[in-house]
Chain A
Amino acid sequence: MESSDPKSRSERDLLQRLKRGDEDAWVYFTQEHGTRLFNFLRHRLPSQQDVEDVAADALSAVVRAIMTFDGNVTLTTFLLTIAKNKLADFYRRQPKTSELLETMVDPGSATDSIEFREVFSTVRKEYQEILQMRYQLGLSVQEIADFLGITYKAAESYLSRAKQELRKALDKDDDD
């Protein structure tokens, strides 16, 4: 049965336009999803140049794969899954570099922001990833579940544990 949800309808329309090679649709997609992709990668790669290289590779891969994409997950999940594979390729090529999941600290960041980032970096990496996807990149629980290849319920409980751990980390920081 066709979904009547406006969000999924517009997503389907966008996908159709992307498959037709509509340049305006691709420009929109690059702007909208490029920002998410960039933020997803900047917490996982050592330098700005690496982020740009992997992001460009991931978007090129999306163009090549779009014709076979059946829309069973959202475009965001599709893009981030490709980006995850590109990240794995990156770290396979550089075995000595350990995978990062920490924010590239902007030198102009306010003290509170740096403090939060420090606390956040003490949370388990898997939890940082899920919290970032949910609250920074704005992915839905279903999108996170699809991205991680787990059920909706499992994603929900994973997210809940991640929130508890963040809470604990912030409480600990309060005590110190």
Chain B
Amino acid sequence: MTMIDNFFNQKSYSERELQTLFAQYLPVEPLPPVFAAQLKERVLAEVSLVIKPARTSISGPVIFFQQAISPKRTPLARRAIKLFLICAFLTLLTLLFFSQWVSR
């Protein structure tokens, strides 16, 4: 009678017993050391390529330089208000023109 027979002569078994069974007969294999090192290297290279560029903070002089060369961008809400006022002004002018024309 083998070890495994002894184990399964029990009619029922708990979660813990099943975990023991798998740990004993189908254990988790550790990563092969060479592959683990390659994997770590590849992941870190990918991180520096994908995540780091998006996350790089801009230092003081660079901010100053960027502000000097890039045109200031107005916030969207402000631009929308500006556009609305221009449209309203043009509409008013058109209405004034037509009212003058009709009165003649």
Query: Which residues of A does B touch, CB under 8 Å?
Result: 19-21, 23, 26-27, 29-31, 34-36, 38-39, 42, 48, 52, 55-56, 59-60, 63-64, 66-67, 103, 106, 111-113, 115-117, 120, 131-132, 134-138, 163, 167, 170-171, 174
Contact = CB atoms under 8 A, between A and B. Distances in A.
**What band does the interface of chain B fall in when counting residues whose beta carbon is under 8 Å from A?**
35 or more
Sorted from nearest, which 8 A-B pairs have the closest CB atoms? Answer: A116-B25, A21-B51, A135-B22, A63-B46, A170-B8, A113-B25, A136-B22, A112-B4
A116 to B, nearest CB: 4
B77 interface: no
Nearest to B46: A63
B82 interface: no
Main SS at interface, chain B: helix
A34 B31 contact: yes
Nearest to A128: B26
A20 B55 CA distance: 7
B39 interface: yes
A35 B18 contact: no
A110 to B, nearest CB: 8
Contacts of A167: 8
Contacts of B9: 174
29 contacts: A19-B51, A20-B51, A20-B55, A21-B51, A21-B55, A31-B40, A34-B36, A42-B29, A59-B42, A60-B46, A66-B51, A67-B51, A103-B26, A106-B29, A111-B2, A112-B3, A112-B25, A116-B4, A120-B26, A132-B22, A132-B26, A134-B18, A135-B18, A136-B22, A163-B18, A170-B4, A170-B8, A171-B8, A174-B9
